[in-house]
Structure 1
């Protein structure tokens, strides 16, 4: 099923490798194709999508993503709708203190997001050098803002 999304430029790579929000005026329309997961775990869905994507600032398509676009694509593939930007994603979720696979984990006051897959691991789109892949939630420079769940 094809969905046309407004890809909002949400992250600028800082020298620390942490993404920062930018203005929505830089938005570009792109077409993204999502396949709904059927019986797959969030971890396998996230790994599968990550294997087919590279990191590109502001991107949200079948080839390239930024952190919030990656989170949005994974959540859509498991049947959950989340907004495009990290800050809107935080507002739409419910903060939880017992993270489970499928929650989103936010860092540094919402400047970065990853898909939590359990056991202290996440899959995220970090930057052009680090790419889109699985890594520890403690790999990110800075602090964990919180874990958020979507229904």
Structure 2
């Protein structure tokens, strides 16, 4: 990918995620005292997690265990119902400032693999399939996603107003989610395609627009 094109894509990303948006859930990538308070409460209930104010994979796993034990949707997100059950009070406003930097890092990481060839079952920079590419890029930032596209389609929660870093899904050779990518903003997404390897495409037009079935937010 040329330097000019890389700068163009990153500039679109900056426009898309520069503001801090309040969202009603704490999730992987969030940091701060409120995350530490959640971790302390989890520890008091016997869940194994460090109280460091960093909502990483261990915290997400502890949250999922708590949710399963209390009959809540086990999605690893501390939304209003989970927060109320865990903390005994209503959820405060959640700043997305922490995850903004995480989104930027994931997008920047994904762009460096443009041109890497497609490899069925591939999970490394020597060759990716679609879900292997997503899993590798997110794992580099400490976010561990399921391996297959249809499994990734169950991660996080469904969204309709897309933001950079959201996972986008397509029904291609079989019914259901059979292809996945990472939304970049401005109607673009990046994925590992069987025809051209890792590349950027339009989400809403042409082949991909016709195959698009939905998006999930995991950040």
User: How far does the alpha carbon of each residue in 1:86-139 deviate from its partner, in whole angstroms, 9 at most, with x for none?
Assistant: 111111221111111111100112011111111111110111x32211111134
- Aligned equivalents of 2:133, 2:117: Cα separation in 1: 10
TM-score normalized with structure 1 length: 0.66
In structure 1, which of residues 106, 109, 122 is the aligned counterpart of residue 169 of structure 2?
106
CA distance change for structure 1 residues 41 and 139 in 2, over 3 Å: closer, same or farther? farther
Give the match for residue 146 of structure 1: 214
Answer 1 or 2: which has greater strand percent: 1
Q: Is the 8 A contact 2:103 2:164 kept in 1?
A: no
Residue pairs, 1:56-75, within 5 angstroms: 56-75=119-138
Give the match for residue 34 of structure 1: none
- Aligned equivalents of 2:102, 2:215: Cα separation in 1: 24
Unpaired runs of 5+ in structure 2? 1-100
Paired positions, count: 113
TM-score normalized with structure 2 length: 0.47
TM-aligned CA deviation for residue 39 of structure 1: 8.6
Unpaired runs of 5+ in structure 1? 1-36
- Aligned equivalents of 1:100, 1:78: Cα separation in 2: 18
Greater Rg by CA: 2
Answer 1 or 2: which has greater helix percent: 2
- Aligned equivalents of 1:71, 1:139: Cα separation in 2: 22
